A and B are shown apart, each in its own frame.
Chain A
Amino acid sequence: MRTPVVAGWFNADDDPDGFRLLGTRCRMCGSVFFPRADAYCRNPSCAGSELDEVPLSRTGTVWSYTDGRYRPPAPYPGTPDAPWEPYTVVAVELAAERMVVLGQAAPGVTVADLAVGMAVEVVPGVLHQDAERTWTTWHWRPVGGPV
């Protein structure tokens, strides 16, 4: 069974071209939030409490990047005995939203493949697979990179 690692943060991944992170936008002031704010607007000058779901930009530019050379503690999924595969984390600047959003890089993308300012796109990914579930997530990868 395919299960999003967090419900409501990205859309179904059956169409890679239509894959998007999902935020919310305040009906009163237009501010956008990710992770989604559904109950109240966090603009201090706005008392809005109605927000609509809005897809975030599909592409952005690398703000910074790093990796995790050691296994993080729980609740990061995985079996502690398995050999550790470092993962890459990318902070991506979205021009329209004027915000920076984190994510893991697509499998195979290392820090050597990235540079600050590089164009990247959001793609569906898998965080972890166990006997019952495939936990789905979002990944960033250089625009036009291999799926």
Chain B
Amino acid sequence: MTDDIAVLGAGMHPWGKWGRRFVEYGVTAARSALSDAQLGWNDVQLVVGADTVRGGYPGHVAGAAFAQALGWQGARVTSVYAACASGAQAINTARAQILAGMADVALVVGADAAPKGFFAPAGGDRPDDPDWLRFRVLGATNPVYFGLYARRRMALYGDTPDDFAQVKVKNAAAGRANPHARYRKAVTAEEVAASPVVADPLRLLDICATSDGAAALVLSSMSFARRHGVDPVRIRAVSTVTPRYPRTTLDLPDFATDSAAVVAPPAIGFRASIAAAAYAEAGTGPADLDLAEVYDLSTALELEWYEDVGLCPAGEGVKLLREGATALGGRIPVNPSGGLASFGEAVPAQAISQVCELTWQLRGQAGGRQVAGARCGLSVNQGLFGHGSAVIAVR
């Protein structure tokens, strides 16, 4: 177990398609988080930027881009890239430097200006790059992988397209109450069923959009928080584990799983191991959670997360959904923020926005989407190339 760190401030720029530079969104989120923390930019000793491939190199290394935009003041700087887990790795990098005594107050920022339509690999002729090759050889967009997982669940567990639609209905209902969400209206199962198929069996409204947006956190040591006179939300664990060989679940952007013919597969798969490492570090388990923010890149994938973070046994995600347990007002609300279904994905900001939601929920500041009496929350995500993250926050 590690020591806690404090969340002093959380801030976001609303998700949407705004047509501006990612740095602008990041500055808005950073200033909002600093204001929430009742601190000034000059109090920050470390700035950590979560990179995006498009907003990142060349010319826009995130941490320095935000530091320059806020005004050079000499703070230490770090930038990290870990695909969809970039934001959580940025949080963890700040945490490590705070716990090591290198900085008392850190600002973590992630922002993106997303392209329209499918995410695409960088240009040129790059046959050594698996992300380039999957588009070249298979036309395997991200929704193609989501479609494969969804069909597999239907065959294995009897999930139906209507079950998947009910995840969207639930998340849209929660997102209505979130001023930072991009989509803020109720969606019916009929509307999901009437949207065009993108990757069978998934339809447009089963799949998360790509968005502009930004999220920021002001983090500090617990001793600084006490001197600052607050009883803060605390981050108790951050998991940043890699998979174990042989990896037997097909994942983006791979053409195949590892072979399990010589080495037996690990006891739990990668997605489950992400949350398990966070539980172990925090000394908690799924029974301690009051809410969870999970990475619903597709509706069907949200059900997979219920199982992988231990809310129910494998194959019983739909049962949990149908009982209403994961809706607002249920036993263990999942994605009270509205999730990716209501936000769309702004890659380097997304994992930070999950922790912003945990912070507001644990403070009791989540308004119409508040989970009553929330004391412990989990956020979890998975990105390309073997990245995943989970954060446990407590009050």
* CB within 8 Å for A69 and B198 given contacts A75-B136, A76-B135, A137-B137: yes
Whether the Cβ atoms of A102 and B196 lie closer than 8 Å is no
Whether the Cβ atoms of B155 and A117 lie closer than 8 Å is yes
Whether the Cβ atoms of B148 and A69 lie closer than 8 Å is no
Within 8 A of B (CB), among A67-112: 67-70, 72-77, 87, 89, 91, 96-104, 111
A2 lies within 8 A of chain B by Cβ: no
B267 lies within 8 A of chain A by Cβ: no
Query: In the complex, what distance in Å separates the CA atom of A102 from the CA atom of B244?
Result: 21
Name A92's closest neighbour in chain B (CB-CB): B256
Q: Which of B123, B144, B198, B259 contacts A97 (CB 8 A)?
A: B259
Q: Which of B132, B198, B254, B259 contacts A75 (CB 8 A)?
A: B132
17 A–B pairs (Cβ distance < 8 Å), ordered by A: A31-B262, A32-B259, A32-B262, A43-B263, A63-B148, A65-B151, A67-B200, A69-B197, A70-B118, A73-B117, A73-B120, A87-B139, A89-B140, A91-B250, A97-B261, A98-B260, A117-B155
Residues in B whose Cβ lies below 8 Å from that of A34? 255-256, 259
Within 8 A of A (CB), among B210-249: 244-246, 248
Residues in A whose Cβ lies below 8 Å from that of B139? 68, 72, 76, 87, 89, 104
Query: In the complex, what distance in Å separates the CA atom of A41 from the CA atom of B141?
Result: 28
Whether the Cβ atoms of B261 and A32 lie closer than 8 Å is yes
Tell me the dominant secondary structure on chain A's binding face.
Answer: loop
* CB within 8 Å for A29 and B262 given contacts A34-B255, A34-B256: yes
Residues in B whose Cβ lies below 8 Å from that of A96? 261
B138 lies within 8 A of chain A by Cβ: yes
Query: In the complex, what distance in Å separates the CA atom of A84 from the CA atom of B250?
Result: 27
Whether the Cβ atoms of A72 and B199 lie closer than 8 Å is no
Q: A66-B199, A72-B118, A98-B259 are in contact. List 11 more A-B contacts (CB 8 A).
A: A31-B261, A34-B256, A43-B245, A66-B151, A66-B200, A68-B199, A74-B120, A75-B136, A76-B136, A97-B261, A102-B138
* CB within 8 Å for A64 and B151 given contacts A44-B245, A99-B259: yes
Whether the Cβ atoms of A64 and B155 lie closer than 8 Å is yes
Whether the Cβ atoms of B260 and A99 lie closer than 8 Å is yes
* CB within 8 Å for A103 and B138 given contacts A29-B262, A97-B261, A116-B151: yes
Tell me the dominant secondary structure on chain B's binding face.
Answer: loop
Whether the Cβ atoms of A73 and B262 lie closer than 8 Å is no
Name B202's closest neighbour in chain A (CB-CB): A66
B360 lies within 8 A of chain A by Cβ: no
Residues in B whose Cβ lies below 8 Å from that of A70? 118, 198
* CB within 8 Å for A33 and B259 given contacts A66-B147, A87-B139, A102-B138: yes
Residues in A whose Cβ lies below 8 Å from that of B149? 64
Residues in A whose Cβ lies below 8 Å from that of B121? 75
Whether the Cβ atoms of B137 and A5 lie closer than 8 Å is yes
Name B117's closest neighbour in chain A (CB-CB): A73
* CB within 8 Å for A100 and B200 given contacts A76-B135, A89-B144, A116-B155: no
Within 8 A of A (CB), among B261-285: 261-263
Whether the Cβ atoms of B263 and A45 lie closer than 8 Å is yes
Whether the Cβ atoms of B135 and A72 lie closer than 8 Å is yes
A31-47: CB near B (< 8 Å → 1, else 0) gives: 11111000000111100
B133-164: CB near A (< 8 Å → 1, else 0) gives: 10111111100100111111001100000000
Whether the Cβ atoms of B138 and A63 lie closer than 8 Å is no
B3 lies within 8 A of chain A by Cβ: no
Query: In the complex, what distance in Å separates the CA atom of A114 from the CA atom of B213?
Result: 40
B191 lies within 8 A of chain A by Cβ: no
Name B132's closest neighbour in chain A (CB-CB): A75
Within 8 A of A (CB), among B345-382: none
* CB within 8 Å for A102 and B136 given contacts A34-B256, A96-B261: no
Residues in B whose Cβ lies below 8 Å from that of A65? 148, 151, 200
Residues in B whose Cβ lies below 8 Å from that of A67? 147, 197, 199-200
A18 lies within 8 A of chain B by Cβ: no
Query: In the complex, what distance in Å separates the CA atom of A43 from the CA atom of B245?
Result: 7
Whether the Cβ atoms of A89 and B138 lie closer than 8 Å is yes
B274 nearest CB across to chain A (Å): 18
Whether the Cβ atoms of B140 and A102 lie closer than 8 Å is yes
Query: In the complex, what distance in Å separates the CA atom of A127 from the CA atom of B138?
Result: 9
Query: In the complex, what distance in Å separates the CA atom of A104 from the CA atom of B189?
Result: 31
Name B198's closest neighbour in chain A (CB-CB): A69
Residues in A whose Cβ lies below 8 Å from that of B136? 5, 75-77
Query: In the complex, what distance in Å separates the CA atom of A57 from the CA atom of B261?
Result: 13
Q: Which of B120, B155, B250 contacts A102 (CB 8 A)?
A: B250
B38 lies within 8 A of chain A by Cβ: no
Residues in B whose Cβ lies below 8 Å from that of A16? none
Residues in A whose Cβ lies below 8 Å from that of B259? 31-34, 97-99
Residues in A whose Cβ lies below 8 Å from that of B118? 70, 72-73
B42 lies within 8 A of chain A by Cβ: no
B391 nearest CB across to chain A (Å): 27
Query: In the complex, what distance in Å separates the CA atom of A87 from the CA atom of B199?
Result: 10
Query: In the complex, what distance in Å separates the CA atom of A80 from the CA atom of B149?
Result: 28
